[in-house]
Amino acid sequence: MNEFDLIRKYFTRPAPNTLLGIGDDAALLQVGTGNVLAVSSDMLVSGTHFLPDTDPFLLGHKTLAVNLSDIAAMGATPRWATLAIALPEADEAWLEKFSAGFFALAQQHGVDLVGGDTTRGPLNLCVTIFGEVPAQQALRRSGAQPGDEVWVSGTLGDAALALAHLQGRIELSGEELATCAQVLHQPQPRVALGLALRGIASSAIDISDGLLADLGHILEASRAGAQIDLASLPVSLAMQPHAATPPGMQCILSGGDDYELCFTAPGARHAEITAIGSRLSLRLSCIGNIVAGNGCIVHDAAGNQLNPGSGGYEHFR
Amino acid sequence: MNEFDLIRKYFTRPAPNTLLGIGDDAALLQVGTGNVLAVSSDMLVSGTHFLPDTDPFLLGHKTLAVNLSDIAAMGATPRWATLAIALPEADEAWLEKFSAGFFALAQQHGVDLVGGDTTRGPLNLCVTIFGEVPAQQALRRSGAQPGDEVWVSGTLGDAALALAHLQGRIELSGEELATCAQVLHQPQPRVALGLALRGIASSAIDISDGLLADLGHILEASRAGAQIDLASLPVSLAMQPHAATPPGMQCILSGGDDYELCFTAPGARHAEITAIGSRLSLRLSCIGNIVAGNGCIVHDAAGNQLNPGSGGYEHFR
């Protein structure tokens, strides 16, 4: 089976929203009138972003999910993706499961796979994703203003907590692990939330490197600071027993891979945002405020100021 | 130096044609009214597509060039690219040269680098490129018609000849090697030719896997056959002494990595195509005809039919 057969068998599916899909030198995409294209690329490398024995179905899901999360953070509608894969060998059982996981999530979000590359090499997965958004409604990182509230979706640190358990740094019960591992292996990109926040949020980012690091990107782009209330940070039932411990707090503040959204909005939109959370059955928590200045200050319940550093995941550090 | 510093230092350049470039969750691109987006991804893997000690400046050039070649083969105007890199370590000397080679070619073609990813892992380079083209003028693979002529740009097999020398399968003189190595390491994507062929060519593809393999893709997509005249295949001065030898002929018919265009056009457009070649100072050779049926038949000067097989480069074969 050569790469053309592989592509035909595992990666060619109907692309109903595409002018010209897989099989030419390039795909042709029609962007809707009044919309701009939102584009993002994420590369997942075996041994860096996932363990070599990761379930390929879950890996297919996650490869697309982390990219969809970027589109969600722009408030864009996901439309198309390309997928470039380097594989050590043409392992058909692996490819079948990987592509099933990829396409299950793609279908759920109406994303057409329109092109890519299949080649031999150490396992590497590179997706470029394309969304559409009216230019003025894109959720940039740079729009946060002093007085805005800071929000996060879902709960924080669960993916990092699962990883800490898998790496023997913390001990979770079976039930706790099940909850957290689901977040680590099968994150749910917050696409519907991103769309609902158009015209409401003043800035947004997805939490891939940890709350403090990613909120830090908003603050840097917006030239502003933030005050965060530790007690208001949303944690799961699985996290609760660990939340006050140093490794638990580390997960909450600096754990990557959650793929929740962190966003800011004027206080006047508070009730609307609460209503969006109810409509989407998604926990949305107001965790602090944007202030003049720079950097992020975290207070505990007693009013003491923590100095946690950003601590987000960095390659090459 | 973490990945954010790397991106800032080596990969963030002005992006004058971009609504929002590097530094947010996604880039925002404005596609011109009446145009559609042409999108293609190519992944280059160390040890598969290039040798680990390849000059990083030339590698930066080639990484973008192979992608530009796909845009050229669609008749599109290249506009934007994303670049995802996995690197074993943050080697700044390497990055400086690689990015210089990449941006030198990007600037030449007016391409803005708008996003990507930088991560740790075995050396892997994945570019997604974006061009614009009026929907009806895109050069697809599927439009070849019996009676059309088959054309190629430049000369064939030089990159493969250089590789054959480097791998000790053939012996080139110093001057021959210099010519051919230039094609192998610094291919020139035929962007201006692709644009000139809008409304003239009935189909087009870039020659990355070898003439017979890539012409084969046109024939398959167009449900047609081709008759090719061996004597009409354009070869360089460096190739001439080797053209009649089995390895030379193999390079000409099935050598990959030339990144010339192979295209078809009605015979009535012959003079126009010749004029385009003159205007672009680019050799354009009519090498045969599209016929009813399927597959490609190659005749030598005596009228004997060769049966060379497609022989293009295939991963996983």
3-state secondary structure (DSSP) of residue A241: helix
More confident position, A254 or B2: A254
Non-local CB neighbours of B149 within 8 Å, separated by 6+ positions: B264, B265, B266, B267, B270, B286, B288, B289, B290
Q: Angle at Cα A66 formed by Cα A168 and Cα A243, nearest 5°? A: 40
Spatial CA neighbour of A160 closest among A51, A67, A59, A249: A249
pLDDT tens for each residue of B157-175: 999 999 999 889 889 999 9
A244 in contact with B at a CB cutoff of 8 Å? Answer: no
Contact B314 A2 (CB under 8 A): yes
pLDDT mean across residues, chain A: 93
Q: What is the pLDDT of residue A5?
A: 84
Q: What is the mean pLDDT of residues B280-294?
A: 97
Mean pLDDT of chain B: 93
Identity of the residue numbered A271: A
Indicate the pLDDT class of residue A90, thresholds 50, 70 and 90: confident
Q: Do B126 and A114 touch (CB under 8 A)?
A: no
Strand blocks (E) in A161-275: 203-206, 225-229, 261-265
List the one residue out of B134, B19, B140, B34 whose CA is nearest residue B80.
Answer: B19
Q: What is the pLDDT of residue B304?
A: 87
Is the pLDDT at A187 greater than 70? The verdict is: yes
* Token pair of B245 as six digits: 């030898």
* Whole-angstrom distance, CA of residue A92 vs CA of residue B97: 38
Chain A contact set for B29 (CB, 8 A): 36-39
Q: In the prediction, which pLDDT does B316 show? A: 56
Task: Kindly state whether B268 is in contact with chain A, defined as any CB-CB distance less than 8 angstroms.
Answer: no
**Per-residue confidence (pLDDT) for residue A314, from 0 to 100:** 54
On chain B, the residues whose CB falls within 8 A of the CB of A119 are 43, 45, 48-49, 315
The confidence score (pLDDT) of residue A303 equals: 85
Q: Is residue A126 a contact partner of residue A48, using CB atoms and an 8 Å limit?
A: no
Q: How many alpha carbons fall within 13 Å on the CB side of residue A130?
A: 33
Q: What is the pLDDT of residues A258-276, one digit of tens each?
A: 999 999 999 999 999 999 9
- Nearest Cα residue to A50 out of A311, A257, A317, A314: A257
A76 chain-B contacts, CB cut-off 8 A: 26
Distance of alpha carbon A245 from alpha carbon A252, whole angstroms: 11
**Mean pLDDT computed over A104-114:** 97
pLDDT of res. A313: 54
A245 burial (CB, 10 Å; 0-12 / 13-18 / 19+) is: exposed
Query: Average pLDDT of B241-260?
Result: 92
Query: pLDDT by residue (tens digit) across B176-235?
Result: 999 999 999 999 999 999 999 999 999 999 999 999 999 999 999 999 999 999 999 999
Q: Give the pLDDT band of residue B314 (cuts 50, 70, 90).
A: low
pLDDT for the residue B7: 83
Distance CA B235, CA B238 (A): 8
Separation in Å, CA of A129 to nearest CA in chain B: 9
Query: What are the start-end ranges of the E strands in chain A?
Result: 27-29, 35-45, 77-87, 112-120, 124-134, 149-153, 203-206, 225-229, 261-265, 284-291, 295-299, 305-306
- DSSP-derived secondary structure letter, A56: H
Is A166 a residue whose pLDDT tops 60? yes
Average pLDDT in the A302-307 region? 82
State whether B120 and A48 contact (CB < 8 Å).
yes
Phi-psi region of A150 (alpha: psi -120 to 50; beta: other; left: phi over 0): beta
The reported pTM is: 0.92
Mean pLDDT (whole number) for A230-245: 93
pLDDT in tens, A272-299: 999 999 999 999 999 999 999 999 999 9
Longest dimension (CA), chain B: 64
The predicted pLDDT at position B272 comes to: 98
Is A52 at the interface with chain B, CB within 8 A?
no
| Confidence tier at B16 by pLDDT (50, 70, 90) | confident
Give the C-alpha separation, B126 to A116, whole Å.
Answer: 10
Q: What are the structure tokens assigned to B220, written together?
A: 């398959």
ipTM of the complex: 0.91
B123, B46 in Cβ contact below 8 A? yes
Beta-carbon contacts of residue A178 (< 8 Å; ≥ 6 apart): none
Query: Over 70: is that where the pLDDT of B315 sits?
Result: no
Looking up tokens 């041994």, which residue turns up? Answer: A47
pLDDT of residue B206: 97
Q: Grade residue A307 by pLDDT with cuts at 50, 70 and 90.
A: low
Residues 6 or more apart whose CB falls under 8 angstroms from that of A213 comprise A254, A256, A310, A311, A312, A313
Q: Quote the pLDDT of residue A26.
A: 94
The predicted structure's pLDDT at residue B134: 95
Which pair of structure tokens corresponds to residue B231? 């004597």
Q: Is B51 on the interface with A (CB under 8 A)?
A: no
Given A27, A36, A83, which is nearest B28 (Cβ)? Answer: A36
Residue keyed to tokens 């190595």: B181
Q: A34 — alpha (psi -120 to 50), left (phi > 0) or beta?
A: left
- Give B307's pLDDT tier (boundaries 50, 70, 90): low
Instruction: Tell which B residues from 82 to 141 touch A, by Cβ distance under 8 Å.
Output: 82-87, 89-90, 114-122, 124, 126, 128-131, 133, 135, 138, 140-141
Chains A, B: CB contacts under 8 A, how many?
236
Q: How would residue A300 be classed by pLDDT, with cut points 50, 70 and 90?
A: confident
d(CA B33, CA B129): 19
pLDDT tens-digit series, residues B261-283? 999 999 999 999 999 999 999 99
CA dihedral B250, B254, B256, B260 (to 10 degrees): 110
Residues in chain A within 8 Å Cβ distance of B213: none
What tokens does A201 get? Answer: 């949020």
Q: Find the helix or strand (DSSP H, E) in which A193 lies.
A: helix A191-196
Beta bridge partners of B117: B84
Burial class of A157 by CB neighbour count within 10 A (0 to 12, 13 to 18, 19+)? buried
Residue A239, pLDDT score: 94
- Token duo for residue B187: 């291919």
The predicted structure's pLDDT at residue B300: 87
How far is it, in rounded angstroms, from Cα A58 to Cα A74?
24
AA identity, residue B293: G
Mean pLDDT, to the nearest integer, of B238-251?
Answer: 92
Pairing assessment for the beta strands A295-299 and A305-306 based on DSSP bridges: antiparallel
- What is the pLDDT at residue A9? 87
More confident residue, A315 or B276: B276
Put simply, whether B53 touches A (Cβ < 8 Å) is no
- What is the predicted pLDDT for the residue at A46? 93
CA-nearest residue to A119 within chain B is B315
pLDDT at A233: 97
- Given a cut of 80, whether residue B311 has pLDDT beyond it is no
Q: What is the pLDDT of residue A2?
A: 81
Mutate which of A25, A91, A310 to disrupt the B interface (most B C-beta within 10 Å)?
Answer: A25
Confidence of residue A4 (pLDDT cuts 50, 70, 90): confident
Kindly list the distances between the CA atom of residue B281 and the CA atoms of B66, B115, B116, in Å, as whole numbers in the listed order: 21, 34, 35
Q: What DSSP assignment string belongs to chain B? A: --HHHHIIIII----TT-SB-BTBSSEEE-PPTTEEEEEEEEEEEBTTTB-TTS-HHHHHHHHHHHHHHHHHHTTPEEEEEEEEEEESS--HHHHHHHHHHHHHHHHHTTPEEEEEEEEESS-EEEEEEEEEEEGGG---STT--TT-EEEEES-SSHHHHHHHHHTTSS---HHHHHHHHHHHHS----HHHHHHTTTT-SEEEE-SS-HHHHHHHHHHHHT-EEEEEGGGS---TTTGGGTTSHHHHHHHHH------EEEEE-GGGHHHHHHHHHHHT--EEEEEEEESSSEEEEE-TTSPEE--------TT-
CA dist., res. B53 & res. B46, Å (int): 9
Using CA atoms, how far apart are residues B66 and B119, in angstroms rounded to an integer?
22
Q: In what order do the strands lie in the sheet with B124-134?
A: A27-29, B35-45, B124-134, B77-87, B112-120
Q: Select from A31, A129, A206 the Cβ nearest to the Cβ of B31.
A: A31
Which candidate, A25, A119, A316, A117, places its Cα nearest to that of B50? A119
Interface contact flag, B31 A26, Cβ < 8 Å: no
Q: What is the pLDDT of residue B6?
A: 83
pLDDT band at B308 (very low <50, low <70, confident <90, very high): low
What pLDDT score does B303 carry? Answer: 85
Name the token pair of B150.
Answer: 């088959």
A50: nearest CA in chain B?
Answer: B121
Residue B88 CA to residue A191 CA, distance in Å, equals 33
Per-residue pLDDT band for A62 (boundaries 50, 70, 90) equals very high
Instruction: Specify whether the CB–CB gap between A78 and A111 falls below 8 A.
Output: yes
* Cβ–Cβ below 8 Å for B116 and A41: yes
Q: Output the six-digit token pair for B131.
A: 């061009």
- Surface-to-core class of residue A182, CB atoms within 10 Å of its CB (0-12 exposed, 13-18 middle, 19+ buried): middle
Q: What is the largest CA-CA distance in chain A?
A: 64
Segment A113-142 shows an average pLDDT of 95
**At residue A308, does pLDDT exceed 80?**
no
**pLDDT value, residue B35:** 95
* B48 shares contact with chain A (CB less than 8 Å): yes
